[in-house]
Amino acid sequence: MMKRKFLVAVLLLSLAASTLTGCGQSSKPEMENDQPTVYQSLEDSLSVMPAFEATDLEGNPVDESIFENADITVVNCWGTFCTPCIEELPDLAEWAKEMPDNVQIVGIVCDYNEGWEGEANIRQAKQICEEAGVDFVQIVPDKALQEIQLGILVYPTTFFVDNSGHVVGEIIEEANIEKYKEEVTSYLENQSNEVQDHA
């Protein structure tokens, strides 16, 4: 009996720990039946962003040209179901205001599904962003971006894209804004050093 109670306690502690910095994939909605399972993990498979034709939360078109606007883009994949995702949004909003012109951040609302539920999801995402003071672009994914989501195991997942659409640096599978900042700083320093080396 004591052994059983101990195992239950360990299981509960493990579940609690897993929710501190990220949400598991089990909370993610199912993709459409005809959606191919292409990616096993982002780290192994995502090196270049695909062409996509999505919208933001206001219905404005967004495509892969968004990455041309900055030397590096922070791509924050989050869900309305994910407490750590929501809790870090105010910090991301503040950071976005402090970013230099050659750095930007975009979000991808990863629990979007088409239809009535999707509309409710967009309303919820809008409310969350409004309460967090978020004014950077939040992308409602199309099929190409949904395909990328198949490789996301934890929310939030954050990765970095250069101005030619290549994924650079480390993929971070937790809510850790300090790590995001370190990746951006490291990338910009490396780019600056490369320019100096070729001067």
| pLDDT tens-place string over residues 165-179 | 999 999 999 999 999
Q: In the beta sheet, which residues pair with residue 161?
A: 73, 167
Report the 10 Å Cβ neighbour count for 64.
17
Burial of 144-170, coded b for 16+ CB within 10 Å and e otherwise, reads ebbbbbbbbebbbbbbbbbeebebbbe
How buried is 197 (Cβ within 10 angstroms: 0-12 exposed, 13-18 middle, 19+ buried)?
A: exposed
- On whether the CB atoms of residues 67 and 146 are closer than 8 A, the answer is no
**Single-letter code of the amino acid located at 95:** W
Mean pLDDT to the nearest integer, 108-132 = 90
| pLDDT tens-place string over residues 19-42 | 446 786 534 444 444 444 444 567
Report the predicted TM-score, pTM, of the whole model to 2 decimal places: 0.81
Provide the 8-state DSSP code for 198. Answer: T
How far is Cα 19 from Cα 155, in angstroms, rounded to an integer? 10
Please provide residue 168's backbone torsions phi and psi, each rounded to the nearest 5 degrees: -130, 160
Please provide residue 184's backbone torsions phi and psi, each rounded to the nearest 5 degrees: -65, -45
| pLDDT tens-place string over residues 37-71 | 444 567 766 899 999 999 999 999 999 999 999 99
